[in-house]
């Protein structure tokens, strides 16, 4: 069985504007472009709307890292509980 490696996309003009060339989705400029549409879609959902408002002005990479750590901690806590009980 041959393993295929996932090829990194070549940076395009719009990707080069982001601060993170290897992960353009996480770049602050991408967030700035998408935020108005996301906030408009969240208008009817107060909890979601408040969450978006809370994230405004924060570094998306820091938020992503914090959320990942939180989720990973919950998964590991669950595994520990299951193994020890």
pLDDT in tens, 28-79: 677 788 889 999 999 999 999 998 888 888 887 788 888 899 999 999 999 9
Predicted confidence (pLDDT) per residue in 21-30, tens digit = 446 555 667 7
Q: According to the model, what pLDDT value does residue 15 have?
A: 46
Closest CA to 52 of 72, 66, 74, 32: 32
Q: Tell me the C-alpha distance between 46 and 33, whole Å.
A: 22
Query: Domains of the chain: which residue ranges?
Result: 23-84
CA angle 75, 5, 60 (to 5 degrees): 50
């Amino acid at each position: 069985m041959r393993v295929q490696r996932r090829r990194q996309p070549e940076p395009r003009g719009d990707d080069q504007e982001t601060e993170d060339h290897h992960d353009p989705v996480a770049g602050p400029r991408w967030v700035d472009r998408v935020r108005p549409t996301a906030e408009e879609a969240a208008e009817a959902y107060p909890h979601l709307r408040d969450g978006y408002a809370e994230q405004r002005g924060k570094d998306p990479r820091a938020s992503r890292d914090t959320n990942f750590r939180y989720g990973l901690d919950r998964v590991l806590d669950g595994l520990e509980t299951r193994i020890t009980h």
